[in-house]
Each structure stands twice: as structure tokens, then as C-alpha cells.
Structure 1
Amino acid sequence: MCLLTLLVRLNTNDPATKLAAAQSEITLEAQLEAQLEAQLEALQCHFTWDLDPGRKKLLSIIDRLQDIGTEEGNFWLGQVYNLQGYIHFLLGSADEAKSFFSRAAEAFRRMREPDEGPWLLVNYGNQAWLHHRQGEEAESRACLSKVEALMEEYPSPSEDELHPEVYAEKAWTLMNFGRKKQRLAADYYQRAMRMQPDVVEWQTSYVLGLTSLFKHSDTGLEGDDWEKMRQAKEQDPENLFLAAKYLQQLAKKGESVKDEARELATRVLRNPVGSYSGIKPLLMVYRFYVSTDEGVYNLQGYIHFLLGSADEAKSFFSRAAEAFRRMREPDEGPWLLVNYGNQAWLHHRQGEEAESRACLSKVEALMEEYPSPSEDELHPEVYAEKAWTLRNFGRKKQRLAADYYQRAMRMQPDVMEWQTSYVLGLTSLFKHSDTGLEGDDWEKMRQAKEQDPENLYLAARYLQQLAKKGESVKDEARELATRVLRNPVGSYSGIKPLIRVYSFYVSTDEGVKLAAEALEKHPDDRYLKRCAALGYKWRITSSTDSRPEQSMIQRAILLHEEVISLYPHSSFVKRMDLASVYAKSNQGLAESDQIYRELLARDLEPAETQVLFNNYAKYLNYERWDWQRAALKILEKIRDKKRDRMCREIDECLARLEEPQCFKQQWI
């Protein structure tokens, strides 16, 4: 009992004494409270590390932490639970926080010997803060006493620095809070390792942090950083996440990693799945360095919406968001702006206003967290996706796409994939040029090929450009073919431009052989069948090669018919190709005539009509030797559509001709 309290009891009738005693007690309590606050502020724990990025970011981190494997043997399990507990506290759930802090302490005790050690400093600090915030001062002081006891028993090897265990947990924690915090995390890992250099897990986490810091580098880690990663992989050979990240770095340096990636995949798939199981970085290795066959879900979703299928659109937008999360770090970022915008529009059109506003809120949060580097322009990620999308909508849009790619690259110049897509867009813009890309455009393509050596589609397009400049590319084409045939088939695998190179600059016979060999490896792939059909058509319609055997023509006919059935919505050109092949067959021209009659009867778009008239005129001129019929038929078609401003003059011209309808009778 304190002296003031005793005086109050001895002189309970003295108001002045009572007041003085009460004031003194309040002062003493305030002093004790201030002392406790000072002790808490001096702790090294999540509550003192400035870790409150906002509710949305916290929820995102919680999602990521839940994906981390919690099986026994996870070195960082205690740290995972500590961070989960702190985030639950920030989100308003003190009971959940207390539960996770208890699980963290238990995880540390199971993983370490002895049960008590400096690895519990952060955890006891967290518990001290939580009890204090709950008004449980006795429990808070008990935790503070545990911290003091541990610091006395396990002092830091360096008096002016934190304990290495604290540095390591602080570094691991900061790695979850964005790029700025990651730079500080790297420094803390280095401090921990200087004082305690034999902890393999710290070295591994340090180099993994470096890969995140320099993930946009075209060449990967270099110098001492690369040597540290190589050493970490040797010291931690069972860490499959590290192994996958290591393959990424090797691939960035231009080394082939296909065999290693496939071998690693068998190991990864045998283990439980988690965010550190290696599956995500391995998928990225496959995406960029093994197979470039990817789903373009955002665009597919929008097209399904335009075609009236809202459910299909919703499905593809969801798949797009999931694909972005699998391929990017962190899970949420500006690459989702377009996707969330699409979902907002779709929900609005479906009358789902609450869901639409939720998506709009996500857009606003992303724009606030990831503002564009230039205030008067879109975010570079948006420019890049807009550019990629416009490339699919014809020549006029492609010019605009090139401008958007340039804007994106000016603001974020180290994204290799944007540079590659930009130069591929240039080749499409100038595909009818006899000499190929020139000047700065050609230099950009050369640089893109150096920076993206594993992109076989780009390599094939590069050979096309070289061949247009008069250079011999036969040896390079044959070498590239061996690489292309080893990989999965897709529209960006390189097979189509390579067949074109073979057909026009090596030999059409070799082009057919390449297509046939690819089909043997992938007999059920519809895209490959489309490419092969093109190779066969070029060989059969070539005016410089010998007349093909009927067996080849028959094979080409069957292949074209199958492709038309596989691509029912985009078979317009393939039907004309089939007519060209039929014209060279022993079946004569009857089948070709029938195909053109069917196409001429269709109500086509103006651009398609122009292509059809052009091909039909060539067919009649070169196969039928009847240019007059071709001219008259085209004039009648233009007149009947009544869209051309010269329809009246055309009608008068046809009326002056003798029996112009005789041709129509023959055609029909």
C-alpha cells in the first residue's frame, strides 16, 4: 500500500487530502502508462514497423499468406503466423490476432532448439502490444519481461544493431509490402547474414528478394548478386521455388532451360501446392521460355459479350484475372485495370449495379496505389494491353497500336515483352514491303531479337526480314525448325512464319515436309492443321515449282476441308484457298466454280467483297482464261449491291452490252 493511500485512510474526512491523494494516484498511473508506452515503442515487432498500407493491400497479403504451405518443416511458419496475427489485428479481429500469435510461438518452439530463443523476440513484442491495446496491462508487462529476459540471455553480436533473428524476420515481413520496403528488406537480410552467416534460409530469402527487385531486368541478376544466387541454389538444393527462380535468371541470360524446366516440373508436381512450392515461377518459365501458347482471356471475354453470351464473357474475364495473378508479382497491380474495367461494364450491362460499383472501387484503388508515371497519360500497363488488343483489329488499328506501345515503353522501358510485341506489330504493318523493315525500325527488331532470344516466333519473323533484304537464310531456317518442332504448338510458337520462310525462301517442298513433320508430332492440333494447309497451298499453286503429284493435292484438299470445319467462323479465306487447290486437281474446275458461286451469293462485308472479287478475277483469268467473264461478274455484283457511287454508270454500261446475262446463266 502506498503512503498516499494510507494517509487517505487515516484522514478520510479531509477533502484536501483526498484530492491531493487522488491527483497523485492519477499522476503515478500516467507515469506508469507513459513508461509502458515507451517500453512498447522501443520493441522491434510488427506494431512498430510502420506496416499499415490500407485495408485492400492487407486483404491481398492475407490471401497470399494463406497460400503459403503450413506443413511441418516450413522454416518461415512462425513468421507467417506473426504477420497474419498482426494483419488480423489491423482488420479489427483481436481474437484472431491472439490466436495467430499463439500459433506463431508454438511453431517457433517446434522448429527451434531450445524452445526459448531470440526468434521469439518479435512474437513476444507483438503479444505485449496486443495485450496493451486490449487493456490487459499485466499480461502486456509479462510479455515485456520475456523480451527483456531473452535480450539479456541472447544479446546481439553487435551492440549497435538488432539481433540477427529480428533483422531476418523484419526483412521477411517487409518483402510482403511492396518494392520500396523490399529494398530495405535486402539491407536487413545482409545485416543478419553478416552477424550469423550460416543460416541457409536467410541467404535463400535474400536472393529471392533480389529477383523481385530486379524482375524487370532484361539480363537478370549480374555480378555479385548472380554469384550469391548460384551459391544459394547449391546450399539449398531442395528449395524448388528457388530452383524455378534460378531457371528464370538463366533464361534471361540467353541460356536454354527447356529440359531443366521439364525436369523441375516433375519434382514440383509431386509436392503439395503452395505459394512457395515453385509452381508459379515455373509457370512463368514455361510461359516465356518453354511455351508461348497463352489464353487471351480479356479479349475473348469481350468478344463473347459482343456476340451475346454474357456468361461466357464473365467466365473469360474471371480467367483473365486469375491468369494475371498467377503470372505477376504481386497478385494485384495495374495490369488488372483493364480486366476490372471490363467486369464493371459487364455487371452494369447485366443490371448488377452493386457488383459493378465493387469493380469500379477496385479500379480506383489500383489507380491510387499505382499512379501512371505521367499524369496526362494512361498507365503503361493499360497502354500495352490496349496496343496488344488493337493489333487484332486490322491494319488501321495497328498503327494506333504501335503508338500505344511506344508510349508504354517510354514510361516503362525495361519490359522486354512490350518491345517484342511492338516490333512484331511493325512487321505486320509493313508485311507487303519487298525490302522489309528499314532504318530505326529494323534496328529495333534486331535489338528485340537480342533481348528476347528464346522467342521463336520473333526469330522466324526476323528470318523473314533478312530474306526480304536478299540474305540467304536456309541454314538459319533449318536450325530454327529443330527448335520450333521441340516445343508445344501455338499461334506464337513460330511455326506459321517459319513455314512461310521455307515456302518462299528455302523451297516449297521443304515447307510441305516441315508442315508434315509437325503434324506427325501434333496430329490433333487445329492451329497446326491451318498452318500446314497454307504450306500445301503455297506448294501446289507455285508457278515456279514442278506440278505436284495428285496424292499431295488430295492431301491438301482433305486438310483444307478439315480446317474449314474446325474454323467455321473464320473460313472465308480458306474456302478460296480450297478453290485454288481444287483448280490444280484432276477433278477439274467444277468444285472451284461451286465454291465461288457459294461465296458470291453471300452478303459479305465490303473488305471481304473486295478480296473475293480480286481472287475470283484471278481465278477466271489464270485458271479459266476468261478475264471478260470475271470483269462482267464483278461489275454486276457491284451494281446489284447498290453501294457504289458509280452504280448508275455501271448499269448503263452493262445494258449496252449484248446479252450480258448469258454469263450469269452459265454461272448459275
Structure 2
Amino acid sequence: MSSTEDIVFKTKLLQLECHFTWALRKEDTDLTDLLNRLEDQINFDLGKKAGVARTYNSIGFVKYLLGSHDEALSHFQRSVELTKECHGEECDKLLVVPCGNLAWLHYNRKDYEECKSYLDQLKDIKEKYPPDSTSVPYPEVLGEKGWTFLKFSLKYYERSKECFRKALELEPDAGEYNAGYAIALYRTETEHTNPTDSPTIKQLRRAIETNPYDDVLKVLLGLRLAVYKKYDEAESLVEKALENSPEHPHVIRYVGIFFRNHGSVDRAVALLKRALERVPNSSLIHHQLALSYKKKQIDLHRAGSHHSKSAEIQRFRNQCIYHLEKAITLKPSFISAMSELALQYGQNQELSKAEEQFQATFQVATEKKDAYQLLLLYYAEFQEYGMRCESLAIKHYMQCLKMGPDKSEGRRSAGHLKRIAEKRISRNPKDAEAFGILGFIHKEKGEKRYAIECYEKALSYEDNAEYLSNLCDLRLSLQ
């Protein structure tokens, strides 16, 4: 092929809407875990050919990223076959993505005749169904793009939300797009003070209207309503979903989370174990089981008489560690599970093992630029309670708070810092560092006048360049 022909091919390929042009970076996900989840999804959706066809498309792209080009080809072709079986002559717009993937794959394999064949098919589809706009794809393409982003990485959730929003502008009553938009909102929305202000709750209700038999949506609505203390409706939705879909792993997982959060930890454990029987390679379910056993440890501690219950607490900790180790074996870049495992090693007095796990987790979090704030919080707690090193704990609590004072990790770090400072002041009312810590908390939370008072007190007990600099900056900002 001449360079001119190659440029023509590449120009046409880059204009396609498919996985190869959606900027899906393998660095942003754990490909093995993603593959496991997609293969599980095929088993869940066996009765829904349209969903299975879409999943085969994504598996094909993951196989391509893993270097298995022959397997990628067979999965893309299977996607085309299922789409035709499911939709017959009305399938053209749904073939845009798999045909685009096949064109790219054949180009990369230097099979230019096959590549041209798929490019010609896509040209025919475009001529048969002229798009409303050159910049807005068919809703069918936007829908598949939205689901792909939702599955691929949490870094793409915002992009997923935007795809579903645009698809709904074109087809507002489509159940699939309403469901996708609801799930994308659920995963991205921060809490509101009132459920009537929550776009997620409104969209979940709308999605259930258009998908009345989707029990995953009902559980998600129940979980979100519970955040606003709407417990009666939440519990009703969750119980109904479990009754209708008692074997669906996604339903069981979310119901398990609901029961754990609302005091029924044993029921949560039983449900999650049942889900694990269906999908033994689910890192998410292993993680949720670990968190349930952690909750059982905490509940026993709070009940008092720790000495008499130490064997039971240790048994729960062992179970927690076992499921966390399984989770990160299945998904080596599962940062929240890695962080929790390091913390559990610390609580188990395996201090060198904990430090090693924390350092490995810091490396992954730095590479992926993900979950770093949570990791800082856990490492600070490990330094405070495991290593008994208050100075390092303070350092990492401060870093965590600085990363986001309004996030839950930031709020928890502020609470830890305040407790440490107040304890030190109760022992020594002239502890300058303790007042400096309080000043830092107020400064990061935007409470400038309180911060100034604390820094002034700190400076009255000790000359410190950092306190003086912070004090000057705060005074200038109020002028």
C-alpha cells in the first residue's frame, strides 16, 4: 500500500465511531478484571441478545488490547451475528460500532481488502440513514458508547453520562438510555441535602418507569433513598428486588451493601456468599464480603468485653483479609481493596507486611492517579494506630485533608487531626503544634478567622516560620 492510500484509509478510520476511536486507554483499567466482568455479563444477559452483542464487542476490544487479535476478530464477528439475529433488517445503525471495530482490526492486521469492505458497509449505512448532525452520532451509537465508558473505567463515568444524556435528547423514552443515564448519575453524583434535589433519584424513578422489570435499578434507588433516611420506601424497593431476582449477582451484591449499611450484617454476608457462588471471580463481591466482615469486627469492638470476644474478632479479621487477598488477586490494581488489606495487616500486627502493602498501593495509585486520598487516610491511620507514630500520622492526615476537605476522606482526616490536637492541648495548654494543627484544619476548610486565632495562639507559644506565613496569607486574604 502506498503512503497516499494509507493516509486515505487512516483518515476514514479516524472518522469512525467505535472502540478504537473512543480514546479507551488500557492504562486506565485492569484488563483482566474487566474481561472477567464482561464475561460474567454475558452469563447474566443470556436472554437479552442485544446486550450480549454489545458485550461481545467490548470483549473483542479487550482481547485486542491484550494482543489476542484472532480472538478479537471472532468476538467482533459474533457481535455482528447476534445483532442481525436480534434485529433483522432493522439492525443497520446497531452495526456501526462492530463494523467500525472490524475495519480497524483488519487495517491493523494489514488485511486492507477486508478493511475496505467494512468501510464500504459503513458508508452505505450512512447514506441509508443520514445522521441529523455530523457532530452527533446515532442514538444507538451513543448508547453503546455510554455503556462502554461505564464498564471500562470510573475515569470515564462523566463521559458515559454525557453520551446517555445526548442519546435521551434524541430518544427520551428509550429504556436502555434511561437506565444507563441513571446508573451513570448514581456513580457520579455527590449527595444533596434533600432527595427532591437529587437528579439521581429523579432519573432512577424515570428509568424504572421505562424498565419496570429491572431490579438492579430498584436496589440502586433504595440505596440512594436510604442516604436521605427514606428507609421505608428504600427497604420496600430492596425487598421487592430481592424477591423478583433472588439469584441475580448484581442485585444480591447491592442488596448486601444495603443490609450491611443498615445493621443486618449477617444477612448481607449470606447474600454475598450466595452471589459468590454464581460469580466466583468477582473482585467486587470479595471486596464487599471483606467490608462486611470488617463491620462485624467493628460491631464486636463497640459491644465491649473485647478480651472475651478476641477469638471471634480475630476470626472475622482473618475472613476479611482472606477476601481482600482474593479481590486483589483477581484485580491487582484494586486500590481501595489494597489499601484496606494493608490496614488489616496492620491491625493484625503484621507491620512489615502492612508497610510493604501500603508502598505497593502507593505505587499503583500514583501510576493510575486514582484513590490517592483514601490511601493517604488509611496510611495515616496505620501510622497512628499500628506504628504508634503520631508525627507521620499527622503528616498524612494533613495531606489527605488538603486534597479535598469536602470529601469524606478529608472530613475524616480533619476529625482525626482535631482529636489529636485537642488531646495534646488537654495535656499541655501551651502546645504550639496542636494549635498549628487546628489552624491548618480551619484554613483548609475555609474558616479563615478561626484559623487566624489558632495560628496567633501557636505563635504566642513558639516562633515558627510556617505558622507566621500562613497567618500573613490569611490576614491578606481578608483585606
Kindly report which structure 2 residues correspond to 1:629-640, keeping only aligned pairs within 5 A, or say none. Answer: none
Structure 1 residues 631-658: Cα deviation after superposition (integer angstroms, max 9, x where no partner) = xxxxxxxxxxxxxxxxxxxxxxxxxxxx
> CA 1:358–1:113 in structure 2 vs 1: closer, same or farther (change >3 Å)?
farther
In 2: Cα distance, 1:418 partner to 1:55 partner = 24
Distance 1:200 1:169 in 2: 13
Query: What are the equivalent positions in structure 2 for 1:238-637 lying under 5 Å apart?
Result: 238-257=213-232, 259-260=235-236, 263-264=239-240, 266-267=242-243, 270-273=246-249, 277-291=250-264, 294-296=292-294, 316-321=320-325, 332-337=334-339, 339=341, 364-370=363-369, 379-386=372-379, 408-416=400-408, 419=411
Deviation string 1:219-251 (CA, Å, 9 cap, x unpaired) is 678355532222112221211111111112111
For the residue of structure 2 that corresponds to 1:176, the secondary structure is helix
Please state how far the C-alpha of 1:153 moved relative to its aligned partner: 1.6
Distance 2:396 2:351 in 1: 28
Measured on the aligned residues, the alpha-carbon RMSD in Å equals 4.7
The question of 1:208 aligning with 2:183 is answered: yes
Are 1:297 and 1:319, in contact at CA under 8 Å, matched by a contact in 2? no
Counterpart position of 1:577: none
- 1:392 & 1:346 partners in 2: Cα distance? 10
TM-score by length of 1: 0.48
Kindly provide the amino acid, as one letter, of the partner of residue 260 in structure 2: R
Output the amino acid matched with 1:381. L
Partner deviation per Cα, 1:148-167 (whole Å, 9 max, x = no partner): 11112222233542111111
For the residues of structure 2 that align with 1:315 and 1:223, how far apart are their CA atoms? 37
Question: CA shift at 1:398, angstroms?
Answer: 9.5
- Determine which structure has greater relative contact order: mean sequence separation of CA pairs < 8 Å that are 6+ residues apart, divided by chain length: 2
Q: Which structure has the highest helix share of the two?
A: 2
For 1:278, what is the secondary structure of its paired residue? helix
Cα 1:207/1:296, change in 2 over 3 Å: same
Identify the residue that residue 12 of structure 1 maps to in structure 2. none
1:370 Cα offset (Å): 2.7
For the residue of structure 1 that corresponds to 2:11, the secondary structure is helix
Q: Which amino acid aligns with 2:60?
A: G
- The letter for the 1-side match of 2:341 is N
Q: Partner residue of 1:171?
A: 146
Correspondence 1:156 to 2:131: yes
Q: Indicate conservation of the 8 Å contact 1:334/1:381, yes or no.
A: yes
Deviation at residue 47 of structure 1 after TM alignment: 1.0
- Partners of 2:56 and 2:76 within 8 A in 1: yes
Q: Counterpart of 2:364 in structure 1: which amino acid?
A: A
Name the counterpart of 1:198.
173
Contact 2:377/2:397 (<8 A) preserved: yes
User: Alignment partner for residue 23 of structure 2, among 50, 67, 83?
Assistant: 50
- Paired-residue identity, %: 21
Residue equivalent to 1:96: 71
Kindly provide the amino acid, as one letter, of the partner of residue 112 in structure 1. Answer: H
Does residue 1:123 correspond to 2:116, yes or no?
Answer: no
| Cα distance change of structure 1 residues 35 and 343 upon mapping to structure 2, 3 Å threshold | farther
In structure 1, list runs of 5 or more residues that go unmatched. Answer: 1-25, 301-306, 351-355, 373-378, 434-440, 445-668
Give 1:337's aligned amino acid: S
Q: Which stretch has the larger CA shift, 256-265 or 122-131?
A: 256-265
Residue 172 of structure 2 aligns to a residue whose secondary structure is coil
Distance 1:265 1:415, change over 3 A: farther
Q: What one-letter code is carried by the residue in structure 2 that aligns with 1:81?
A: Y
The Cα shift of 1:126 comes to 0.4
Q: How far is the alpha carbon of 1:292 from its aligned partner?
A: 5.9
Q: Kindly indicate whether the alpha-carbon contact (under 8 Å) linking 2:28 and 2:153 is maintained by their aligned counterparts in 1.
A: no
Post-superposition Cα deviations, 1:134-179, rounded to whole Å, max 9, x if no partner, equal 1211111111111111112222233542111111111221223444
- Matches of 1:357 and 1:401, distance apart in 2: 17
Q: Secondary structure at the match of 1:270?
A: coil
Residues 400 and 267 of structure 1: CA distance in aligned 2, closer, same or farther (over 3 Å): farther
- Indicate the residue corresponding to 1:183 in structure 2: 158
What's the CA shift for 1:93? 0.3
Structure 2: state its 5+ residue gaps: 267-291, 299-310, 427-437, 442-479
Kindly indicate whether the alpha-carbon contact (under 8 Å) linking 2:107 and 2:115 is maintained by their aligned counterparts in 1.
yes
How far has the Cα of 1:39 moved from its partner?
A: 1.5
Residue 220 and residue 337 in structure 1: after superposition, are their counterparts in 2 closer, same or farther (change >3 A)?
farther
Q: Does the Cα contact within 8 Å between 2:380 and 2:394 map onto a contact in 1?
A: yes
CA distance in 2, matches of 1:330, 1:204: 30
- Cα distance in 2 for partners of 1:137, 1:233 equals 46
Question: SS at the partner of 2:89?
Answer: coil
Query: In 2, Cα distance between the equivalents of 1:401 and 1:364?
Result: 19
Q: Distance in 2 between matches of 1:234 and 1:208?
A: 14
2:117 — aligned with what?
A: 142
Alpha-carbon distance between aligned partners in 2 of 1:89 and 1:262, rounded to the nearest angstrom: 39
C-alpha displacement at 1:33, in angstroms? 2.7
Cα distance in 2 for residues equivalent to 1:79 and 1:221:
34
Q: CA deviation at 1:82?
A: 0.9
Residue 77 of structure 1 and its aligned partner are, at CA, apart by 2.1
Measured at CA, do residues 279 and 400 of structure 1 come closer, stay the same or move farther in structure 2, by a change above 3 Å?
farther
Q: Distance in 1 between matches of 2:196 and 2:56?
A: 31
Change (3 A) 1:134 1:31: same
Q: TM-score, normalised by structure 2?
A: 0.65
**Secondary structure of the equivalent of 1:112?**
helix
Q: Is the 8 A contact 1:334 1:367 kept in 2?
A: no
Whether contact under 8 Å (1:245, 1:281) holds in the other structure is yes
After superposition, what is the alpha-carbon deviation per residue over 1:40-83, rounded to whole angstroms, capped at 9, x for unaligned?
12211111111123286323322322232241226432221111
Partners of 1:315 and 1:343 lie apart in 2 by 12
Shift in Å, 1:381: 1.5
SS in 1 for 2:246: coil
Preserved CA contact (<8 Å) 1:334 1:366: no
Relative to 1, partners in 2 of residues 1:151 and 1:172: Cα closer, same or farther, differing over 3 Å?
A: same
